[in-house]
């Protein structure tokens, strides 16, 4: 019986690859957009301007304090009631971008705040404008504490793409749900789904671990 299930699963493998490609597309677009937006908002938040921080803090708290499933439902089902029509793919990318931006904003803001104030004062005394201070002095130094948690956030976001199947998007998880209806051996079907997600995430996990080791070694050497 298992042989038959395995044979049927192999026959379905091309569909899993198509679903995997959809997952990769969603992940790549949302990671890129949330990184750009997250860095921008994180830098803005690090200025500690009260009015800006209140707005950004509210945004971050709302996103981090509500399930991603609820957020994607709002984008896909509620926005059309306000005249904003989005297809499933666009809704998935937008939802993940909004979700990821909140976390990356906090990571970037926290990393920048670890830089000694003397660095900023030195940049100011050198006659650099605020954008130049951030570009040439602050952000390059902040990358050390930012990169490890940032890569970890990327892994979490890729795994969260599994949620987008609930709005009808044929990603690798939804292909798994379709397949398990024909092959009632769930451990085979979702074992394959897990392997495919692992293949996407493991390079980032390895890179994150490697990066933390390198940064720890450099820190020890400096000490």
| C-alpha atoms less than 13 angstroms from C-alpha of 203 in its C-beta half-sphere | 4
Tokens matching residue 30: 């949302």
Domains of the chain: residue spans and CATH: 2-222 (1.10.3720.10)
Task: Please tell me the distance from the alpha carbon of residue 97 to that of residue 32, in angstroms, as a whole number.
Answer: 8
Q: Is residue 186 over pLDDT 70? A: yes
Tokens matching residue 177: 């749900």
Split at pLDDT 50, 70, 90, the class of 164 is confident
Q: What percent of the chain has pLDDT over 90?
A: 37
| More confident call, 101 vs 115 | 101
Provide DSSP, 117-139.
Answer: HHHHHHHHHTT--HHHIIIIIIH
Note the pTM of the prediction, 2 decimals.
0.86
Q: Is residue 85 over pLDDT 50? A: yes
- Residue 173: name the closest of 18, 3, 5, 6 by CA: 18
Q: Is residue 221 over pLDDT 60? A: no
Split at pLDDT 50, 70, 90, the class of 167 is confident
Average pLDDT, the chain: 86
């Amino acid at each position: 019986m298992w042989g038959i299930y395995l044979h049927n699963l192999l026959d379905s493998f091309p569909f899993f690859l198509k679903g995997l490609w959809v997952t990769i597309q969603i992940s790549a677009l949302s990671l890129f957009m949330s990184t750009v937006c997250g860095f921008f908002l994180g830098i803005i938040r690090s200025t500690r301007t009260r009015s800006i921080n209140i707005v950004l803090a509210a945004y971050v708290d709302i996103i981090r304090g509500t399930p991603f499933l609820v957020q994607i439902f709002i984008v896909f089902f509620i926005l059309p009631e306000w005249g904003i029509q989005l297809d499933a793919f666009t809704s998935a990318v937008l939802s993940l971008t909004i979700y990821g931006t909140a976390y990356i904003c906090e990571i970037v803001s926290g990393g920048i705040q670890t830089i000694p104030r003397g660095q900023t004062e030195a940049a100011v005394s050198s006659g650099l404008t605020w954008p130049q201070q951030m570009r040439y002095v602050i952000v390059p130094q902040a990358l050390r504490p930012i990169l490890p948690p940032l890569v970890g956030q990327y892994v979490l976001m890729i795994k969260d793409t599994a949620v987008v199947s609930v709005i009808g998007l044929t990603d690798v998880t939804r292909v798994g749900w379709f397949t398990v209806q024909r092959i009632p051996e769930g451990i085979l079907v979702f074992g394959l789904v897990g392997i495919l997600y692992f293949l996407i995430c493991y390079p980032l996990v390895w890179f994150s671990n490697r990066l933390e080791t390198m940064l720890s070694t450099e820190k020890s050497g400096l000490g």
